[in-house]
Structure 1
Amino acid sequence: MSWTPSGRHFIAGEWIAGTTTFRSEPAHGQAHDFAVGTTELVDRACRAAEAAFAAFSATTREERAIFLEAIAEEIDKRGEAVTLIGTQETGLPEGRLNGERARTTGQLRLFAEHIRKGAHLDARIDAAQPDRQPAPRPEIRLVQRPIGPVAVFGASNFPLAFSTAGGDTAAALAAGCPVVVKGHSAHPGTGEIIAEAIAAASERTGMPAGVFSLIQGGRRDVGTALVTHPAIKAVGFTGSLAGGRALFDLCAQRPEPIPFFGELGSVNPMFLLPAATAARAEAIGSGWAGSLTLGAGQFCTKPGIAVVVDGPEADKFTSAAKAALEKVATQTMLTNGIATAYHDGVDRLRASNAVAPVLAAESAGRDAAPNLFETNGSAWLADHSLSEEVFGPLGLVVRVGSPEKMLALAESFQGQLTATIHMDDADLGLARDLLPILERKAGRLLVNGFPTGVEVVDSMVHGGPYPASTNFGATSVGTMSIRRFLRPVAYQNFPADLLPQDLRN
């Protein structure tokens, strides 16, 4: 399928050009010009979303399910073109883009199935008790209702699954909330073709024009205008700690504060318990190298830290990881900015007296080669910078003097998306001591695995205590993510014809 970006925004059913443009910076292939977003366009999109809310929130679950399935179908129709522009803009391989597209359409279809079942409504009915003494009880019914228009920021590292029609957008639309997307400038063509698919699905299914808008590019004032617009009632964000925290603060400082569901950063520590390390240090080391370098280490669930008790088994683990990493070729990173940040992170660790290089590889430009460092527990606890995320194929081994010191080091971690325990049966006692610590640190806990690869299922939690995310009770992956865009409303003594449709039976 031949396709060329138009470079326009999509706002309330219209494709809109701009007087100012920016040029994309693809990893390979042709660059294209795209209109730059403005605060005026933000206002237009948000007003349209608010105007569409009454009609869209009143649609039935079946109507919204059909809409979500139509978006998935329209994306699949454009599959070849999506992969082509996505690989050009991001440098990701074709297989990765195809897999991410399948995940994106799968999420949409999963939400369609989920809302058909109605479990997200959490409907509750307490029957009236007119004869109750000393006072009668009225009938009270409760159901979850959509909160209003939602702003979504596209992610740099997932041009499909966490961007224009990604998990945040799918969850908000499933809930009955119109969406305004701030597209990521790293992959504007990918954003535009997915917006085309949503527009086609909206027209097919008769959805109101303001149900979806895409604003491309723009300076910081565009993002600020979006999260502070009075029509916006929640924000979904995946990105850097600094950028996310700035937007979070803006949401909190509004005259009407709104929830900011931000995923901001995580080093996803692994804890290698003694028996497991003695039994299979080499296998764990090799597996870790594969997880570290998957997608050039540009996954938010990359396990960047490995904590192990010092000794010969730790040597075997580190040597195996090094040997595996030496076989990994240099990979192209998503953007020039991400590559620069990676190189800076490598240089920072090389300059530190607290760490020692295990594998030092040179890379430049938009390319990244794996690097491996090690330190000890005391140095780790003394230098907070060692716990800062380095986005890319870099790992840090932290050697501790004893299992007890491993527990103390676990206490030092900030909030994480994931934490992993590598253990055998003989490690059960230590694992029991470690578990309550990690339950307070991470949203997803793993045993004998690697956290890269997030299943889109009912039971998934992709979030955690700050700074992994700004709302520890939420997830951005899985069907539970719809809860972010709903709020409970109780109806007391309502006539049946006035109740929301989902509460009438």
Structure 2
Amino acid sequence: MAVPVWSVDPRTGKQREQVAVEATAAEVDAAVRAAARAIPALADRSVRSRLLRAAAGALEESAAAVIAAADAETALGVPRLTGELARTAYQLRAFAEVVDEGAFLDVIIDHADPAAQPIPRPDLRRMKIPLGVVAVYAASNFPLAFSVPGGDTASALAAGCPVVVKAHPDHPATSALCTELLRAAAVSVGLPADTVVTLHGFQAGVELVRHPLVAAAGFTGSVPGGRALYDAAAARPQPIPFYGELGSLNPVVVTPDAAAERAEQIGAGLAGSFTLGVGQFCTKPGLVLAPAGQDGDRLVAALTAAAGEAAPGVLLDARMRDNFLKGAASRVALPGVSAPVVPAGEGETGVRPGFVTVAAPDLDESLLEECFGPLTVVVRYGSAAELAAVLDRLPGNLTATAHLGSAEAAQEGGSAAALLARLTALAGRVLVDGWPTGVAVAPAQHHGGPYPATTSTSTSVGATAIERWLRPVAYQDTPPALLPLELRDANPLGVPRRVDGTLS
């Protein structure tokens, strides 16, 4: 019997419309095989860049409908979603530029050298090629930028890989609409519509990662869900890479000097960051280490005032709201914990932000677990040794932030340098005197970190995200007529290359 997939309004908890039915195992198989048939058509880099630009344009042309659908299903608000759509379109075009440039192919040519030592060297020519069909597991909290038209899809298409998306149940109507736009964009540039396919249903996601024609997977979500899929990918007869973003505390360390200089500014900034988007950013600062004493008290007082004035909001779905309220209540009830602003429910569907404080020696292990929603934990440390002891207990993170005093920030080789070195071991992005919410789409960006932040050393944001969907191949002593165009001496496609050790 077909299982319906409903679009639900999180502001009311009411069903809006039936969007689809959950895919059966046979339908998953058909979808993957259809996507695989698009692989040859994606071999032409120029058509891939045209597809990415066409997809960006399609999103912008249908912006009103896409934003309305996403807001109805997520309650994220029109201003936030307007910015997210612009980011998503920019990201698609940025990958089109990556494709056109061709440096991602990482072409290296070493001509034969009979006189090489210790042994003669054959003619070797190396480049990267696409893996094949990529499975993308859409995120709940970014219905555009990390979902059907998001970074995983854009980077996979840029690499030459067709995509099968497992839609998130929190925004199925948005996913369906974006799928239509991407498939139409593919057809408009001469590619098969099945270059992008979307499926619905929990079991469909399990079947997808197990399918023998799926060559890699990208995931953004929770630790339990991501770990289950990661294990399934590894347990296949032919294991595949699984690029998962699972969970992150995103610790913030406020030094005594920073608190002395600008406690009120830091407290207000923290309130704005952990309540942004109702605390549903993957980079939300969930653990803040602030000094004990008067300056730390000033910071907490400013945080209390700002967080107390923060507006209530609606989480993405009722399950997330229930988990948030249970998690908040359990944290507030811990020994040694106080709650200057108590996180709580608001009406039937809303939540109010809040935070808890605890002395470093009383820090319970459960406070080192991510709580999705508008809650943060402020740990008061009384010494450098107490700070170090807390940092030693932390898992891997997407980000780690240091707020420094002006004098220590200007000193080479001092305590601030040592703190940044310690934070670098914990996270993929290290910030100074800022807040981690918001991830710029830029070539130098890295959105990843040690486990459980991610399951690999790769990034899901920025130009190098394309590397996840490629593998290198070296051709040895291959006749010129049989070489890919990118590896021929004449370089007819004009791609950047390293030839006999020299970049050209």
What secondary structure is seen at the aligned counterpart in 1 of 2:290?
A: strand
Residues 271 and 430 of structure 1: is their aligned pair in 2 closer, same or farther, counting only changes over 3 Å?
A: same
Residues 361 and 136 of structure 1: is their aligned pair in 2 closer, same or farther, counting only changes over 3 Å?
A: closer
Matched, 1:52 2:38: yes
1:272 alignment partner AA: V
Q: Residue 214 of structure 2 corresponds to which residue in structure 1? A: 232
Cα offset, 1:323, TM superposition: 0.2
What secondary structure is seen at the aligned counterpart in 2 of 1:363?
A: strand
C-alpha contact (below 8 Å) 2:248/2:282 kept by paired residues: yes
C-alpha offsets along residues 47-106 of structure 1, whole Å, 9 cap, x if unaligned? 1122222332x22x2221011000111111111000111111111110111100001111
Distance 2:118 2:280 in 1: 63
C-alpha contact (below 8 Å) 2:5/2:172 kept by paired residues: no
Matched, 1:435 2:420: yes
Distance 1:371 1:134 in 2: 66
What secondary structure is seen at the aligned counterpart in 1 of 2:378?
A: strand
Aligned with residue 448 of structure 2, among 463, 477, 482: 463
Residues 32 and 199 of structure 1: is their aligned pair in 2 closer, same or farther, counting only changes over 3 Å?
A: same
Cα offset, 1:134, TM superposition: 7.0
Aligned with residue 252 of structure 2, among 264, 267, 270: 270
What secondary structure is seen at the aligned counterpart in 2 of 1:207?
A: coil
Distance 1:163 1:465 in 2: 23
Residues 135 and 392 of structure 1: is their aligned pair in 2 closer, same or farther, counting only changes over 3 Å?
A: closer
1:468 alignment partner AA: A
Matched, 1:43 2:29: yes
Distance 1:32 1:296 in 2: 25
Aligned with residue 379 of structure 1, among 345, 351, 362: 362
Distance 1:273 1:486 in 2: 42
Residues 267 and 133 of structure 1: is their aligned pair in 2 closer, same or farther, counting only changes over 3 Å?
A: closer
Distance 1:77 1:135 in 2: 60
Aligned with residue 486 of structure 1, among 440, 452, 470: 470
Aligned with residue 83 of structure 2, among 96, 99, 102: 99
C-alpha contact (below 8 Å) 1:340/1:366 kept by paired residues: no
Aligned with residue 180 of structure 1, among 160, 164, 172: 164
Distance 1:420 1:132 in 2: 49
2:361 alignment partner AA: S
C-alpha offsets along residues 372-395 of structure 1, whole Å, 9 cap, x if unaligned? 100111122xx2211000111111
C-alpha offsets along residues 243-281 of structure 1, whole Å, 9 cap, x if unaligned? 111111101111111111110111101000111110000
Q: Size of the alignment, in residue pairs?
A: 481
Distance 1:281 1:132 in 2: 63
C-alpha contact (below 8 Å) 2:6/2:15 kept by paired residues: no
Distance 1:119 1:408 in 2: 43
RMSD: 1.5
Matched, 1:402 2:383: yes
Q: Residue 115 of structure 1 corresponds to which residue in structure 2? A: 99
C-alpha contact (below 8 Å) 1:407/1:434 kept by paired residues: no
Cα offset, 1:361, TM superposition: 4.2
Q: Residue 349 of structure 2 corresponds to which residue in structure 1? A: 366
Distance 1:38 1:55 in 2: 27
C-alpha offsets along residues 441-487 of structure 1, whole Å, 9 cap, x if unaligned? 1000000000001000001110100011111x100111111010011
* Percentage of pairs with the same residue: 46
What secondary structure is seen at the aligned counterpart in 1 of 2:121?
A: coil
Q: Residue 78 of structure 1 corresponds to which residue in structure 2? A: 62
Distance 1:353 1:101 in 2: 44
Matched, 1:286 2:268: yes
C-alpha contact (below 8 Å) 2:183/2:194 kept by paired residues: no
1:395 alignment partner AA: T
What secondary structure is seen at the aligned counterpart in 2 of 1:130?
A: coil
C-alpha offsets along residues 331-386 of structure 1, whole Å, 9 cap, x if unaligned? 11111111111111111112211411111143144311011100111122xx2211
Distance 1:212 1:258 in 2: 20
C-alpha contact (below 8 Å) 1:411/1:437 kept by paired residues: no
C-alpha offsets along residues 393-446 of structure 1, whole Å, 9 cap, x if unaligned? 111110111123212321221000000000023334221221222111100000
C-alpha contact (below 8 Å) 1:274/1:427 kept by paired residues: no
Structure 2 matches for 1:161-176, cutoff 5 A? 161-176=145-160
Q: Residue 3 of structure 1 corresponds to which residue in structure 2? A: none
C-alpha contact (below 8 Å) 1:276/1:427 kept by paired residues: no
Which TM-score applies when normalising by structure 2?
0.93
Structure 2 matches for 1:289-304, cutoff 5 A? 289-304=271-286
